[in-house]
Amino acid sequence: MSRVRCDKTAAWAKLNDLYQTQGRDFDLRQAFTADATRFETFSQSAPYVFADLSKNRIDAQTESLLIELARETGLEQHRDAMFAGEAINRTEQRAVMHFLLRSPADQVVSPAMAPELLKVHATLDSMLDFAEKIRHDAAYKDITDIVNVGIGGSDLGPQMAVLAMQDFAIAGKRFQFVSNVDEHELLSVLAELKPQSTLFLVASKTFTTPETMLNAHSALRWFKASGGQDVARHFVGLTTNLAAAKTFGIQTCFGFWDWVGGRYSLWSAIGLPIALAIGAAGFRELLAGAHAMDQHFQSAPLAQNLPVRLGLLDIWYRNFHGFSSRSIAPYSSALRRLPAYLQQLEMESNGKRVDMDGQTLPFATAPVLWGEPGTNGQHAYFQMLHQGSSVVPVEFVAVKNALQGMPGHHEKLIANVLAQAQSLMVGKTDVGGHRDFPGNRPSSFLLLDALNPRSLGALLALQEHRVFVSGSVWGINSFDQWGVELGKSLAQDIAPRLQSGDVQGLDGSTAGLLRRLRAT
Ligand SMILES: O=P(O)(O)OC[C@H]1O[C@](O)(CO)[C@@H](O)[C@@H]1O
């Protein structure tokens, strides 16, 4: 499919004019004064997620030109190509079908996808059976600790989701995540464990990632040295590389396929820690929530399509306003790893400066994503959001109904998130100097009725699709990650040099540091 580069479209030129004439000076406070229905016009209901976009620097004209831009760049065809199972990850010649992992078994799919859907459900059923056994079978009663060894997409998604689902997690089992090759992480986890009560999940799509392999081998060595006997019972593999897992000594393995990107893999076998925490029914709810969002993304008109509206807003801010970052502020301690998860999702997907054909793009792409849970962030960096010299759009995530009630806490949390979004926008300019707040600082507000498996699934699929939207308009391949390769291969080159001291061919700084590291 040949596509028009976004900056060559008529809509891009019109958006540029709009920005120069009105967008640059857009004032949110005036926009609310001028339009009593602004909240309704710029809010959007989607499955299990309500979004208030009204505190963003957009109006009806901006949104309609952004939709024109989406149409001109072929967003709908690109989306449909993904859902049709086409190999849209062109640099790796792979289909991108993580949505299939959450499609019901009776979903009507193309003949080419039907065997994949069968495999998905066969694996899902056996993985969920296994999870239920570990959770409830008397034979596994002794397993109290589950340790996931993985990194990147094989860590961030499951870790974030297990924490997010803390109110639904089985009692009596602890979940730990070891990702860093820094031995302190593994050592501190192992220090509290006994081999006979620990289940290690070695999670790696490729089963070659050096950090994960070293951590897994060290865990295995510890297991044996501490008297562990039955490796097959205590080590499980989650991978597409079943052969490598077998060589490691693993007998129980849950597979997935090359059409699942690492950062899109929590719905696959990589989600086993989540299934162990919330059970088979809970995991199916998570999938159902994501599937509902998939359907919304596929079928809602662009103007009422939440992933589309968010992704296009991201384009407006990045390419016309020039905002270079977005802050994510989940007002939920359970969602405290959401920013880290979204960093990989957005920046590994869209942190690219060339198009599908490798041509350099003359415009900016992925913003820096960062954040902490509220209210903590308020006592750290919100100063800068309110009064700093750069405008950073904020994305608040809040939960209406808290599951557990301690008097006053949830109200305080909600009052704070509302007050932050409000004060960023309204500002305060009657005092002068240090006490002035310029206001007019944009934010989006995502509201879940409750944080449960279904709404979490929908929230995450929403984020996946909004990243798809901006990546698609930019014309980049959101599904490869060549940018991590150079560092990986240089680390392989440097490791033996730390032993030998050979600095031949190294740049001056790396050579100097290596000498210093070896000096006694
Ligand atoms: O699951 P694997 O193959 O160990 O890879 C882990 C991570 O490494 C990357 O390939 C690159 O950092 C990520 O995309 C991936 O999530």
> Does the CB atom of residue 212 touch ligand 1 within 6 A?
yes
Q: pLDDT, tens digit, for every residue of 338-348?
A: 999 999 999 99
DSSP calls for 25-78: G--HHHHHHH-TTHHHHTEEEETTEEEE-TTSS--HHHHHHHHHHHHHTTHHHH
CA 262 to ligand 1 center in whole angstroms: 6
Confidence of residue 49 (pLDDT cuts 50, 70, 90): very high
> Does the CB atom of residue 204 touch ligand 1 within 6 A?
yes
* Residue 403: per-residue pLDDT: 66
> Does the CB atom of residue 157 touch ligand 1 within 6 A?
no
Q: pLDDT, tens digit, for every residue of 160-202?
A: 999 999 999 999 999 999 999 999 999 999 999 999 999 999 9
477, pLDDT greater than 90: yes
* Residue 432: per-residue pLDDT: 82
Which of the following is catalytic: 136, 246, 379, 428? 379
CA 154 to ligand 1 center in whole angstroms: 7
Confidence of residue 430 (pLDDT cuts 50, 70, 90): confident
Tell me which amino acid residue 111 is: P
Q: pLDDT, tens digit, for every residue of 268-284?
A: 999 999 999 999 999 99
210, pLDDT greater than 80: yes
Mean pLDDT of all residues in 320-329: 98
The domain defined by 98-277 folds into: Rossmann fold (3.40.50)
Q: pLDDT, tens digit, for every residue of 284-294?
A: 999 999 999 99
Q: pLDDT, tens digit, for every residue of 244-257?
A: 999 999 999 999 99
Q: pLDDT, tens digit, for every residue of 5-23?
A: 999 999 999 999 999 999 9
The CA–CA distances, whole Å, from 390 to 15, 29, 310, 326, 442 equal 22, 19, 21, 11, 12
Each domain of the chain, given as residue ranges in start order, spans 11-72+305-429+442-475, 98-277, 489-518
On average, the pLDDT of the chain sits at: 97
* Residue 378: per-residue pLDDT: 98
Pocket test for ligand 1, best of 96, 205, 344, 480 (most atoms within 8 A of CB): 205
Q: Which atom of ligand 1 is nearest to the CA of 239?
A: 1
ipTM: 0.98
Q: In whole angstroms, what is the distance from residue 420 CA to residue 382 CA?
A: 9
* Residue 404: per-residue pLDDT: 64
Top CATH class of 11-72+305-429+442-475 equals alpha beta
pTM of structure: 0.98
385, pLDDT greater than 70: yes
* Residue 379: per-residue pLDDT: 98
The CA–CA distances, whole Å, from 155 to 58, 101, 486 equal 36, 18, 21
Beta-bridge partner residues of 354: 360
* Residue 448: per-residue pLDDT: 98
Concerning whether 194 is annotated as a catalytic residue, the answer is no
Concerning whether 379 is annotated as a catalytic residue, the answer is yes
The tokens describing 247, both together, are 């060589």
State the chain's maximal CA–CA distance in angstroms: 73
Mean pLDDT of all residues in 422-436: 92
> Does the CB atom of residue 444 touch ligand 1 within 6 A?
no
* Residue 1: per-residue pLDDT: 61
Neighbouring C-beta atoms of residue 185, cutoff 10 Å: 15
